[in-house]
């Protein structure tokens, strides 16, 4: 669980912005999206390999 302590004199908007940034950095949203559907390990590995090949082709250009 993320805990954001509001500093003295800090606005709520700024504290919310810090919370959102921390939330994004923990990659919690990505994990939640991943767990929405079950994916076989072989399929997951195949997708990782495809992504790696795609990124490699981008770097070579």
Q: How many CB atoms lie within 10 A of CB 34?
A: 12
46: pLDDT strictly greater than 90: yes
Q: What is the pTM of this model?
A: 0.50
| pLDDT averaged over every residue in the chain | 90
Average pLDDT in the 32-60 region?
94
9: which DSSP letter? T
pLDDT at 30: 83
CA–CA gap between residue 60 and residue 29 (Å, rounded): 31
> Taken in order 41, 42, 48, 52, is the CA torsion positive or negative?
positive
The pLDDT tens digits for 11-29 are 999 999 998 888 888 887 8
51: pLDDT strictly greater than 90: yes
5: which DSSP letter? P
Give domain limits for the chain.
Answer: 12-60
């Amino acid at each position: 669980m993320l805990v954001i302590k509001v500093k003295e004199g800090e606005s709520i908007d700024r504290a919310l912005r810090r919370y959102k940034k921390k939330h994004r950095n923990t990659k919690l949203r990505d994990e939640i999206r991943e767990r929405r559907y079950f994916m076989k390990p072989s399929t997951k590995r195949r997708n990782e390999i495809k992504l790696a090949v795609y990124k490699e082709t981008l770097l070579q250009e």
